[in-house]
Amino acid sequence: MNSRTQAAITGPSAKKNLEHLDLPKLEMPDISDSDIRAILNANGDKDVFKRRLDARYYDFINNTYDKHFLNAITQEDINKYMQNKPLATLAEIKDKLPSEYHNLVDVFLPAKAAELPPHQAHNHRIDLKEGTTPPTARNRPHLQQELKVIKKFFDDNLQKNFIRASKSPAAAPILLAKKPGGGIQVYVDYRGFNNITIKN
C-alpha cells in the first residue's frame, strides 16, 4: 500500500478519498467513513459489519481481516520454524520453576507435550446445525518455502499421532502467522466449521 492510498483510507473522509484514487470503478458501500476505516484497518467485529452489508462485500471483509491477521512472514521466521529446537533439560526447567512446583516438574517436560494422554471412557462429540454439512475450503496459495513449513507441521503431528490421515470430503485451509518473537505459528481456519456447530 503506498502513502497516497494509506492517507486516503485513514483520512477524515475515507469514502470520498477512495473514490478519487486511480482505482477501478467501485460501488462504495452505504456505511459511514468511520466504519470503512475500521474495516480497512481490521478494527472491530467483522461479523457485525457483515450483517450490515450486502453479501457481495463478504470476501472483501474476510480478505482485509486475514491480511492484518497474517503478518508478513520472513525467511528468518521460516528458518526458525524449520530448526529443531533443543529440548530443555530437567535442571533447566527446575531453574525457572518456583520451588513449590518442583514436585510437579514432570508435567513441564517438553517430551510430555509430544504425547497424547491415555484414551478415556468418554468420546467428544461435535453436533452440527440441522441441514448443514461440513464445508470444503480450498487452501490459500503458499510460497514454496511456506509449503515446507506446512509439510513439517503435518509430519511432526503425524509422528506424534496428534493427527491422522483422513478421506473426509470436508476441509479447512491452513493459515501461517508470524509470532511476535519471530518464527511461525500454524493455524487451521475452522471458522467455516464453527459457523455451523451447535454451541454447548
How do residues 60-92 score in pLDDT, each as one tens digit?
Answer: 777 777 765 555 677 888 888 888 777 788 888
Q: What is the pLDDT of residue 68?
A: 55
- For the chain, what is the largest distance between any 2 Cα atoms, rounded to a whole number of angstroms? 67
- Using the predicted structure, report yes or no on whether residue 24 has a pLDDT greater than 70: no
Position 10 scores a pLDDT of 42
Residue with cell 469514502: 15
Using DSSP's 3-state secondary structure scheme, residue 188 falls into strand
Higher pLDDT, residue 98 or 46:
98
Q: Which domains does the chain have, with CATH numbers?
A: 3-69 (no CATH), 75-82+128-194 (3.10.10.10)
Supply the pLDDT for residue 128. Answer: 92
The span from the CA of 70 to the CA of 75, in Å, is 15
Distance in angstroms (rounded) separating the CA atoms of residues 198 and 56: 26
The C-alpha atoms of residue 33 and residue 1 are separated, in whole angstroms, by 19
More confident residue, 15 or 85: 85
Render pLDDT for 89-129 as a digit per residue (tens, 0 to 9): 888 888 988 999 999 888 888 877 788 888 888 888 889 99
- Whether pLDDT at 2 is above 80: no
Res. 171: pLDDT tops 70: yes
* Alpha helices, H only, 2-97: 3-10, 14-19, 33-40, 46-52, 58-69, 75-82, 90-96
Give CB contacts under 8 A, 24+ apart, made by 152-160: 152/81, 152/82, 153/186, 160/114, 160/115, 160/116
The helix/strand/coil state of 116 is coil
Beta carbons of 136 and 171 less than 8 angstroms apart: yes
